[in-house]
Amino acid sequence: MAIEAVRGDITKQEVDAIVNAANQALAGGGGVDGAIHRAAGMAQLRAACDALGGCPTGEAKATPGFNLRAQWIIHAVGPRWRGGGHGEAELLASCYRRSLVVAAELGARSIAFPAISTGVYGYPAADAAAVAISTVRSVLASTPLGIELVRLVAFGDATYQLYLELLADP
């Protein structure tokens, strides 16, 4: 199993599943969420998300990938940053953990994550990257999920550099 960082567009990743940084309504907002909805096919993905009935913070639910290269989209709802004293780290870790479990249940062997909660939800990028990498490492080391590749996709260079630094430190 491998964990790698890339700089790029999550909608173009050639993996079995991509993770969407979703809102609780799974309504296709801005940022990563809007980009995934547009690339997958707005009407189809909206109908599939509506059928799921929303998703609580810290959880993850799946839909087909529709027009994406990925077969599935796993919608994970990250926490809004409120200073760090309101369980944000635990909720963010839960997003990564639940996404990996959902991916494994679908039979995915590769998955790509965006930097969940770091956009409009305001989570500090360095803290979010640390939670992402420590959670993914912990889950993959402790649970036989059958996932062979976890790709952390950074839209910007600063997040990409954070991932590289953290991945270099075992």
CA torsion through residues 76, 77, 80, 83, sign:
negative
* Inter-residue contact 41 to 66 (CB < 8 Å): yes
Instruction: Return the DSSP state at 119.
Output: S
Rounded distance between C-alpha atoms, residue 23 and residue 102, angstroms: 17
Segment (H or E) for 74: strand 72-77
Active-site annotation holder among 9, 16, 33, 169: 33
Specify whether 33 is catalytic: yes
DSSP 71-134: SEEEEEEPPPPSSS-SSHHHHHHHHHHHHHHHHHHHT-SEEEE--TTSSTT---HHHHHHHHHH
Neighbouring residues of 53: CB distance < 8 A, sequence distance ≥ 6: none
Residues with catalytic function: 33
